[in-house]
Structure 1
Amino acid sequence: MAASAAPPPVNLGHLQWRSPEYLLTTGGALQTAEQALDYFSYSPFFDKRSNNATLRMQMMFANGGMHGVDEERELRRLTGLEFAVSPLSRPQDDLFIIVKRQRSSPDDATVLGAFYILNGNVYQAPSLFEVVNERVLTSIHALSTSFSALTALKPAWTPQRGGAWEIKPPPAAVASLADASAAATTTDEPVPPVEGAEAQSLVEGELDAAAEDKVNGVVAPKAATADVERPGDAFNPLLFRALQATAARTTMEAMQDGQGAQGA
């Protein structure tokens, strides 16, 4: 009869383990690597089939425990699965990295996984695949959300008018700040008057644009819509320039008519 397949390994990446009773015996924190490895042996991340469990069982009957035993040196004599505390390049208080590895010789061991103890809490470190997979999923979600928002605001294109992106009004708080800033700017910096040929060209350009819109059947927006989008007491520099240009042109025409009457 064929042997049954081994069950798949259980992913404990979502698990956090802590033993307050053990920490009370060490003064509330782990002080040495030996304490960290012994603390780790009580967690569900520890494999009871490892060489560490076998060595601890032997020392319990032969030596009365692991006190005074160099566990790292003893594990080098064995082959198989083992756990060891990895040295840190920059030692930190109450932080220990524990590696799970497969030893094939005294000088050759392959790392299979990693765990870390931080402030008495034991976690399983994620693999490189899990980290990259999570980052890719986060990026894809951000792109999908952005494309959905852009699709909702996509303008309707027509051969006559083309297309233009709709600019939504800002929130009330931002709009009030923007209006206050615009009012301060327009109050401190008056718009210079437009005179002479520039005023005449501006008026002619506005008249030509209005005539073209009328020919194309374009209806100008109603005043009620403008009042809703912009407060009535807000300063409109374009309207101010247009009125100033119209007044300048009327003055020039009146002066020309007066000179013509005097010459006649």
Structure 2
Amino acid sequence: MATTNEPPLDEIQWRHPGLAQSMQGIHSNSVLFYFAESPFFDRTSNNAVLTSQAMFNPTMFHLIQTRELFEGRLREMSGLEFIVAQEPAEMAPGTGTGVWVIRKQTRRKREPEDDISVHATYYVNGENIYMAPTLADILSYRMVTITSSLNKCFPAADKARIWSPSLGHVYKSTLNTTASRAQALESKGTTPMPEGQGGNNSKVTPESKKTNQPVLDSRLAEQSLIIHMQYGGEYMDENPITGKPGEFHLSSTGRKDKLQTLGLASLNTSLKGPTGPGLDKKDAKGDKTPKTPTGMPSKPRRRKSRAGTTPTSS
């Protein structure tokens, strides 16, 4: 016996334009009967039993004329049924979304309310009918998608990771960045040769320089940022010490400035005058201010006046 592989019901779309036209469109009184012709309908449901009874029993024919009477009779029965759960939202008279929601459910008569178990939900959009997927199907699909993505991610991460004794576990992008930094430093420190001495291979066209310039700029900018992050809080001396052990001196001043300083010190010493053991302290200190020569009239001295007397000159 040959078996046909039919797609799942939640993956198909059913429509019958001729049937919808014979029913004068999809409306409130025809939506359930239009749905009954689709592959989603169950022929053993109460809808099929009630429709066949009304077709052959004139006293029940009025039940299939309107949806309100038809669903009212279904609510009095127990078993599997299809009812309209939601109607199109009326935004204005004569207009709406055109989407009907039909539920497949089992009704069990209970007091005070019936026990209802929903099995599936369907959408009627115009002439098209779809089956809504269940929550379990949605979650299983999402989990399969996530698992498939992780299965592709982990092997790619393992391929990009490399282990070395000096660096440990690193990724290829990090190694490429380190190599590019070293290449940028080497290219910055080297001096280009003249065109006549370098040969054909040493000549670099202006187009290649323009092409490599943005790459070099980005590498230098990245290197500068890394240096700033590592040594941003450290500062170098304004006058770094140069020389070899035993002969250290400041690079900015040097020995020339030191000799000039020593020369100025000796010059200041010579200007002060000779000093020695034969000289007296008075001579070493220098001559004092000369006194007033004799013979010259001196200024008259004034006596201190007492209270009540007038000072007189001597």
**Category of TM-score, reference length = shorter chain:** 0.5 to 0.7
State the 1:44 CA deviation. 0.5
State the 1:83 CA deviation. 0.8
Q: CA RMSD in A?
A: 4.0
Contact (CA 8 Å) 1:94, 1:120: kept in 2 or not? Answer: no
Looking at structure 2, the residues matched to 168 and 20 of structure 1 have their Cα atoms a distance apart, in angstroms, of 62
Residue among 16, 21, 27 paired with 2:13: 16
Looking at structure 2, the residues matched to 122 and 226 of structure 1 have their Cα atoms a distance apart, in angstroms, of 69
Residue among 112, 116, 121 paired with 2:123: 116
1:94 corresponding residue in structure 2: 98
Q: 1:143 to 1:262 in 2, by over 3 A?
A: same
**TM-score when scaled to structure 1?**
0.60
Identify unmatched segments of 5+ residues in structure 1. Answer: 1-9, 170-219
2:70 corresponding residue in structure 1: 71
2:173 corresponding residue in structure 1: 167
State the 1:113 CA deviation. 1.8
Identity of counterpart residues, as a percentage? 26
2:212 corresponding residue in structure 1: 231
Q: 1:232 to 1:225 in 2, by over 3 A?
A: farther
Q: 1:225 to 1:165 in 2, by over 3 A?
A: farther
1:256 corresponding residue in structure 2: 254
Secondary structure at the aligned position of 2:100 is classed as: strand
What's the CA shift string for 1:87-128, capped at 9, x where partnerless? 369666211111111222273332222212123211112122
Are 1:30 and 2:26 matched, yes or no?
yes
Contact (CA 8 Å) 2:88, 2:97: kept in 1 or not? Answer: no
State the 1:17 CA deviation. 0.5
Aligned AA for 2:169? G
Aligned AA for 2:27? Q
Looking at structure 1, the residues matched to 130 and 251 of structure 2 have their Cα atoms a distance apart, in angstroms, of 87
Larger radius of gyration: 2
Task: Count matched residues.
Answer: 198
Secondary structure at the aligned position of 2:157 is classed as: helix
Secondary structure at the aligned position of 2:14 is classed as: coil
Q: Which has the higher contact order (CA 8 A, sep 6+)?
A: 1
Contact (CA 8 Å) 1:99, 1:111: kept in 2 or not? Answer: yes
Looking at structure 1, the residues matched to 85 and 145 of structure 2 have their Cα atoms a distance apart, in angstroms, of 31
What's the CA shift string for 1:30-72, capped at 9, x where partnerless? 332x322111111001011111111111112224572246111
- The 5 A counterparts of 1:63-212 are 63=58, 66-68=64-66, 70-87=69-86, 93-105=97-109, 107-158=114-165, 160-167=166-173
What's the CA shift string for 1:183-234, capped at 9, x where partnerless? xxxxxxxxxxxxxxxxxxxxxxxxxxxxxxxxxxxxx945699699x93474
Contact (CA 8 Å) 2:84, 2:103: kept in 1 or not? Answer: yes
Contact (CA 8 Å) 1:76, 1:105: kept in 2 or not? Answer: no
2:272 corresponding residue in structure 1: none
Task: Point out the more displaced range, 42-51 or 124-133.
Answer: 124-133
**TM-score when scaled to structure 2?**
0.52
State the 1:85 CA deviation. 0.8
Looking at structure 1, the residues matched to 33 and 88 of structure 2 have their Cα atoms a distance apart, in angstroms, of 22
Secondary structure at the aligned position of 1:43 is classed as: coil
Looking at structure 1, the residues matched to 78 and 100 of structure 2 have their Cα atoms a distance apart, in angstroms, of 24
Identify unmatched segments of 5+ residues in structure 2. Answer: 1-6, 91-95, 176-180, 189-207, 228-235, 243-249, 263-314
